[in-house]
Structures are given as C-alpha cells and as structure tokens.
C-alpha cells in the first residue's frame, strides 16, 4: 500500500493527466474545455475510490461528498483543476489534492465525522481563456455578473456561452446558481503561494488574513503620428515620450509608499499597446494597462489619485491628451477570523513554522468568503514562480498542508 | 483648353484613381499591387497624350521618354505612384505629375530639346508592404540587396517574389537590373517635404543638400515574468521598468545635442513590443525599435554610443539583461552640388523664396545619387503631415515646382 507521500505523488500525476510531473511545455487545461473535463473525471475516479459521492452542480463545479446526514452542516474544502495557457501543475491542483488526501487519512484512520465533508473542484478559475476569473465559485456565491461574460470570446472566437453549453451546462443556470446559505457551513482552500514570502522567511505554511484584489487602470495617451525622419524634435506630440515616465513613477512611488507604511502595495504597468507601432512613425497612441493590488484599499486609492495627477502634468508638459479609465476596482476580501486562528493554531501544534500573510492573487475563496466563513492556507512555491511550466512545490509541502487540513477537519467535524 | 493649374488638378485625380482629392480613407496603392499598376496605366495614358514613348523596365519601373536621339544624353525626372496603407495623394504623385507637367509646358511652348527627357515612376518606393523601401530605384542603381527581400512577406503572407511575379516581373531580373551609367545623364526628383520647415519659414520651395538616412536599433530588455499580485516590488526583474526611461533619455538627449551643434538629429522610440503583455504578468521582455536620423553621421553614431551606455547602466541597476542590436546603419547621401546650385538659382530667378535644406526622409533620389548626378526639390506640405489621408499641398505649390522643373529642363536640355 502506498504511504501518504506516494499516494499524493500518484494522484498529482493523475489529476494533471500525465505520467510524470516534468512537462517542459506546461499544462493546458483551460476553463470549460475537454481537458479540464478530463481532469474532473480523474477527480471523480479518485473520489469514488475514497468512497465519496460525486455530482456536478448546475454551473459545472464538481463535488465529492462524504455524506453523514442530510441535515448535518457541510464543511467544504477545495480549489480548481483548470490552468492558464502553458501553466503549472500545482496552481489549483494542490488544493483539490490535499483536500482529497485529508479525507483519505480520516477514512484510513476510521474517523467518523459529525458533519458532511465536501471536496469541490471549481470550474474555470483562471481568467486566461475568457479574461474573467473564478467563474464557478462566483456563480455559487452569487457574485457572478452575467453581463461581464456576454459576448466574451476566447482566442479561437468561441463565446463563453458556447463553451459552457459544450460542457453540458445551461446558460440560464449560470445566472441562477447561487447556493443556499444553509448548504455549507464553511469553506477552506489550500493553494500554492505564487509568491516567495514563505520561501524567503523559511516558513512551512501561510495562513491568509486577506486577499488583495486588483484595481486596474487603462491609461491612454493620444498624440500625433508624424514621420520620424522629417518631424523636428521640438515639433512633436509623441504619445510615448509623454507617458513612458509613468512606468518608473508607478514603480518608484509604490516602493516609497511601502517603505513608509507597508500596505503590501504592488503596482505594475503590465500591458503596453503602441499605435501605429511602425519604425518610421512617431507614436500617436499609447495604452498602458496598470494592475494595482493591496489589502489596504486606501493605499490603492491614493496611488490611483497620484497616477491621475502625474498624467495631468504630463498632458500639459507634452501637449498630448491623457485619459485614465478605471477598468476594475475590487475591494479587498478579509477572511474569517475564527477559521484563521484555528488554522494558525493547528499549524503551530503540528510543529510547522506557520506565518500570517496576505494574498496578492485572487482565489476561489474570495468569492466563497462573501457568503460563508472561509479560510485560505498557503504552501510554499519555489522562487514564487507560477503560471508557467517551472511552477513547483515539493511533495513534502503538499503533505504538510494535508496534515493541517486533516487535523482541522478532525476538530471541526468531530462535534 | 485647360490652363496649367486645371491640368495639374485633373491629372492629380487621374493618377490617384479618384474623381476628387478629398478621400477620408486615404489611398491604398501598395508596391507591386494591382492598384499601383492601375496608377501606372494612368501615367502611361497621360504620357501618350503628351506624345511620349512609354515602356516598363525589367523591374517594373514605368518610363515615358521624349526621345530626341538615341545617342543624346538623357535627363530623367520622376518619383513614384505607390502609397503606404491609407496614405496621402501627394507623396510620390507630386514628383511624377510635376515632371509630366514640365514636359507638357515645354511641348506647348514648342521647345526643342537637345537631350532626351525621361519621366519615371519608380515601383514600390514605400516600405509599407514589405518593410523594404525604394525597390525600383535601388534595382536600377545597383543598390538592391536581393537577400533583404528573400522570404519577406506582406500582411497577407504573400512573398516579395510572388508579388513581383504577379506583376509580370521575373525574380532573376530584379537581381540584375542595374542600368548602364551612360543611359542617364542626371536625375531630378520633386517631392512634398513631409516636414514643416518650408511652411514655418514661409518658403515656396526647398533645394535639398543631403538626405539623412536612418540608423535603426532594436533594444531588447529581458527580465522575468511573474505574477503582478504576488511578487513584491523589491523582488522583481521588470523589463519595462528597466527600459522605459530610455524613451525620455533618447528624446531629451537628442534635443540637447541639437541645441549645442544642430546636426538636425531626430531620434524616436517608435515601436514597442511587450511580452507577455498580460494584465497579471510582470513584463518579461520588452523590445524598443529606435529610428535615428541626421545628415551628420558622426552625430548619429555618438547618440548610438550614449544609448548603449544608458542600457549598460540600466542593466546593472535593474538586474535585467539588455541587448542593443543595430538593424540598419545607412550613411547619409549628399546630392550633386552643381544641380543643387542650378535648382536654387532657378528658384530665385523665378521669384520663389527658395531655401537650402536637408531631408529627414528617404526618397528614390538617394539611390539614383549613388550612380548619377542627382537633385531633389521640395514643395511645402501642410503642417508637415504625410503618410495619412490628411496629407496635402496646394495646387499652387505643384505649379511652382513645375515651373522650376520646366525652366531647369529648358536650360539643361537646350544644348
């Protein structure tokens, strides 16, 4: 019989649909695709091996239930199995796998829970395919704005509606899938950190207090396209010259704010679109996409204000029109204090170096937390690298996380 | 019978294949296309009306000849009829049209030249379609590097070879089309300025002393793509943060050099490519295309050296790899002193305010000048706007240019 480490290693490959985990090309299980469905089927198979009942809800989330009694409260654990394009094999899978492993240990130990225990694979967590993240968990938490999905297409021109219906989900169901409050008592997700705080402070585990959600800006500078060879330097309305200094400004100012107050603020000019983008034309239009995150919403807002001031000044200085549009403005999500304390205590009791921290990335739990008491446990992620083939966490980290979830379930479900 | 102004107005429309010149969408006569061929056919028709002999050379340049004698020297005038995507109706057309108009005046005045007079439409002058400019004039001047055309494709995936052969030109001919020296005595081109120097100094005409040809750099910064939300500000290798300050540096330094020495230096970061260009990823790779021009080759070289130094320092400061590749390094072309003086004198004698100036843009004449004594005459271009539908020059400017060419031909061809 396999020991826990071996079982986890085996199931990790099965959920990733591979023989071994070294895949230089990365994993491609985009949301609402055949590949994601295949991974869900592996999940169903493993859940059945563990004696769990499985079912797919109306939006495509896959559930596996250790049913004790219909009227008993249900503790849910889980994460997702979809990936970005050429993604890693741990983002999402780690949470589903450790939840299954915890159930396995409890079953192996002949534990008899007083509450139902559910493991869930949320569908289409990544925004890679449609630009909209956490579709499955949004839908059951009542957080899905169906308008933001309408007409959205993937790279191949397939709409969300078509993709959803190809997977056997009715479009109408997506708009009306909110789970009754009573259906769950609480939700706990385990996830790889996708940052390097745990690695840098040599911690085993992180318990997340809050999730920094993004504010996103689109800054558009509009100048005049003219010939690079014939337009004198003093006679230009170069949109790029006007707006390029914003890149450094955002980076430097964010570092400066962190030094003074440390709101864990991060801000990135991450996308650039230049028109006409021709060697012989002065740039007439430049768009910057800026991603800003902090659990401190005031710090985010103050950075946005300063960016707007900077753009106003650049506009005057360079005789170029600059507009700042807010694409996304999400408030931070704070996780349940009681669950947080219990996870922290469990980590310490099991002898793990466990740190309180914030999450810079969004996860399914941020939607669940709007409706049910929820917690988020991080395991380390090598060099903070994620969303690419090099993404990696040691099996021992998955074992450690599993042990905390097991102990947590044992305490929570024993009465 | 039409007067000169009316004749020019009519032929301007005919060469542009339109009923009138206000086209909000611009003109699309890319090199080696059916549209360019149609414009060449209009040229042939007009040339025949004027009693000229026409023929197409082996690379597709269209010639119209006022033949006096087989052994007489030939003075060539001309320009091109192709445009960029959504280009203007004067760039190129102005030079072909004013050459035809000059011939018309000489014929109307019963002038009997002692030399042959040729008007030429060079094929595929613009680099818009294939990224390679002045193909026709390069080919006959012995300046064409056939390697730079091999495998090159347009937006629709058509190779230069396919395009050339579709127009009935043999690929082999392109490589072996250099015209014998004796075939031409000299070449004069008229072109719209595509800058605003003439407008700003209220001049009627410009006589060009030299053509600033580009040095082009590709600067590549390579950092590490990581999650924008989970990677702390102090733990990034952001390629965009490292290289963005180069935009301002290039602009400011170029202005500074011009203030001190005035080598008419212009430098532009004109293209930007960011990878992965995703809202949630730190830029891992940024490519800047930089276009640098001056008739002072030393000034260009000194700017390149300073850009390389800047990149070395940025590389150290930001822990990002930065490479600078020279894509193009063309030496300036100086035009024939005698022709220049004669054109200037002719302009003055006809009462036009005529200025000596340099050209920041390349023209067919830069190739012709490597083989034959050549001259370039500029007419004003409203607000310096070119390569777009708003490109405009008044008919009176075309009339003025025509008058100078007529007088010049009369002097040059009378003995």
Q: Which pLDDT score is estimated for A210?
A: 95
Residue range(s) occupied by CATH 3.40.630.10 in chain B: 4-212+332-412
B193, with CB counted inside 10 A (0-12, 13-18, 19+), is buried
Q: Which pLDDT score is estimated for A204?
A: 98
Region B357-372: mean pLDDT is: 95
Q: State both tokens at B176.
A: 């072996």
The model's confidence at residue A131, banded by pLDDT at 50, 70 and 90, is confident
- pLDDT reading at B327 higher than 80: yes
Asked if B188 and B376 touch (Cβ cutoff 8 Å), the reply is yes
Nearest CA in chain A to B286: A272
pLDDT in tens, A363-398: 999 999 999 999 999 999 999 998 889 999 999 999
Task: Enter the pTM of the model.
Answer: 0.83
Q: Which pLDDT score is estimated for A175?
A: 83
Region A108-115: mean pLDDT is: 97
- pLDDT reading at B113 higher than 80: yes
CB contact under 8 A, A387 and B281: yes
Residue to test with chain A: of B268, B283, B380, B383, most A Cβ within 10 A: B268
Q: Which pLDDT score is estimated for A161?
A: 93
Alpha carbon of A238: minimum distance to chain B alpha carbons (Å): 9
Cα–Cα distance measured from residue B53 to residue B58, given in angstroms and rounded to the nearest whole number: 16
Region B377-389: mean pLDDT is: 93
Cα–Cα distance measured from residue B373 to residue B408, given in angstroms and rounded to the nearest whole number: 14
- pLDDT reading at A242 higher than 80: yes
pLDDT in tens, A192-219: 999 999 999 999 999 999 999 999 999 9
Q: Which pLDDT score is estimated for A390?
A: 92
Locate tokens 């001309």: which residue?
B78
CB contact under 8 A, B266 and A229: yes
Region B289-317: mean pLDDT is: 96
Q: CB contacts < 8 Å between A and B, how many?
A: 197
Q: Which pLDDT score is estimated for B388?
A: 87
Locate tokens 């005459």: which residue?
B377
Q: Which pLDDT score is estimated for A264?
A: 87
Asked if A148 and A132 touch (Cβ cutoff 8 Å), the reply is yes
Asked if B92 and B125 touch (Cβ cutoff 8 Å), the reply is yes
- pLDDT reading at B128 higher than 90: no
**Residues of A whose CB is below 8 A from B230:** 193-195, 359-361, 384, 386
Q: Which pLDDT score is estimated for B263?
A: 81
Q: Which pLDDT score is estimated for B23?
A: 80
A174 or A333: whose pLDDT is higher? A333
Residue B6, CA distances (Å) to A379, B28, B101, B368 in order:
81, 25, 11, 31
Q: Which pLDDT score is estimated for B131?
A: 83
B233 shares contact with chain A (CB less than 8 Å): yes
Cα–Cα distance measured from residue B290 to residue B105, given in angstroms and rounded to the nearest whole number: 44
SS3 B310: helix
- pLDDT reading at B298 higher than 80: yes
Residue to test with chain B: of A232, A333, A385, most B Cβ within 10 A: A232
The model's confidence at residue B342, banded by pLDDT at 50, 70 and 90, is very high
Alpha carbon of B65: minimum distance to chain A alpha carbons (Å): 32
Alpha carbon of A322: minimum distance to chain B alpha carbons (Å): 17
A121: phi > 0 → left, psi -120 to 50 → alpha, else beta; which? beta
Q: State which CATH number among 3.40.50.720, 3.40.630.10, 2.40.160.50, 3.30.230.10 fits the domain covering B4-212+332-412.
A: 3.40.630.10
Alpha carbon of A131: minimum distance to chain B alpha carbons (Å): 10
pLDDT in tens, A338-359: 999 999 999 999 999 999 999 9
**Residues of A whose CB is below 8 A from B206:** none
A215-329 maps to CATH 3.30.160.340? no
- pLDDT reading at B1 higher than 80: no
A271 shares contact with chain B (CB less than 8 Å): yes
The model's confidence at residue B3, banded by pLDDT at 50, 70 and 90, is very high
Residue range(s) occupied by CATH 3.30.70.360 in chain A: 215-329
CB contact under 8 A, A229 and B216: no
Interface of B with A in 106-145 (CB under 8 A): 127
pLDDT in tens, A264-301: 899 999 999 999 898 889 999 999 999 999 999 999 99
Q: Which pLDDT score is estimated for A260?
A: 87
SS3 A45: helix
Cα–Cα distance measured from residue B107 to residue A18, given in angstroms and rounded to the nearest whole number: 83
- pLDDT reading at A1 higher than 80: no
> Mean pLDDT across chain A, nearest whole number?
95
The model's confidence at residue B2, banded by pLDDT at 50, 70 and 90, is confident
Alpha carbon of A46: minimum distance to chain B alpha carbons (Å): 31
DSSP label at residue A388:
S
Q: Which pLDDT score is estimated for B22?
A: 85
Residue to test with chain A: of B198, B244, B320, B329, most A Cβ within 10 A: B244
Q: Which pLDDT score is estimated for A174?
A: 87
- pLDDT reading at B404 higher than 80: yes
pLDDT in tens, A36-88: 999 999 999 999 999 999 999 999 999 999 999 989 999 999 999 999 989 99
- pLDDT reading at B211 higher than 80: yes
């Amino acid at each position: 019989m396999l020991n826990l480490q071996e079982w986890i290693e085996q199931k990790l490959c099965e959920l990733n649909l591979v023989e071994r985990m070294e895949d230089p090309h990365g994993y491609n299980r985009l949301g609402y695709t055949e590949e994601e469905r295949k991974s869900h089927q592996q999940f169903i198979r493993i859940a059945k091996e563990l004696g769990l009942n499985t079912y797919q809800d109306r939006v495509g989330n896959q559930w596996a239930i250790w049913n004790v009694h219909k009227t008993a409260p249900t503790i849910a654990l889980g994460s997702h199995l979809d990936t970005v394009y050429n993604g890693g094999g741990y983002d999402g899978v780690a949470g589903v796998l450790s939840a299954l492993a915890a159930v396995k240990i409890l079953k192996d130990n002949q534990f008899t829970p007083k509450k139902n225990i559910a493991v869930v694979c949320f569908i289409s967590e990544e925004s890679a395919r449609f630009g909209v993240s956490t579709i499955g968990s949004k839908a059951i938490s009542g957080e899905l704005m169906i308008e933001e999905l309408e007409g959205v297409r993937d790279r191949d021109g397939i709409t969300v509606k078509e993709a959803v219906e190809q997977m056997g989900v009715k479009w109408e169901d997506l708009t009306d899938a909110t789970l009754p409050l009573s259906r769950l008592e609480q939700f706990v997700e385990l996830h790889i950190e996708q940052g390097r705080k745990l690695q840098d402070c040599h911690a085993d585990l992180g318990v997340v207090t809050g999730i920094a959600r993004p504010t996103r800006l689109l800054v558009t500078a509009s100048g005049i396209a003219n010939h690079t060879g014939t337009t004198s330097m003093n006679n230009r309305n170069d949109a790029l010259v006007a707006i390029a200094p914003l890149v450094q400004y955002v980076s430097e100012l964010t570092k400066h704010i962190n030094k003074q107050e440390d709101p864990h603020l991060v801000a990135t000019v991450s996308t650039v679109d230049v028109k006409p983008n021709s060697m012989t034309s002065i740039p007439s239009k430049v768009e910057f996409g800026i991603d800003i995150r902090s659990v401190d919403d005031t710090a985010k807002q103050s950075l946005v204000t300063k960016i707007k001031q900077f753009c106003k000044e650049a506009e005057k200085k360079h005789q170029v029109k600059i507009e700042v549009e807010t694409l996304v403005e999400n408030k931070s999500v704070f996780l349940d204090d009681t669950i947080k304390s219990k996870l922290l205590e469990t980590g310490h009791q099991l002898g793990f170096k466990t740190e309180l921290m914030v999450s810079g990335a969004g996860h399914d739990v941020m939607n669940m937390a709007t409706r049910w008491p929820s917690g988020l446990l991080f395991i380390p992620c090598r060099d903070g690298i994620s969303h690419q083939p090099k993404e990696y966490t040691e099996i021992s980290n998955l074992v450690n996380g599993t042990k905390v979830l097991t102990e947590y379930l044992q305490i929570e479900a024993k009465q």
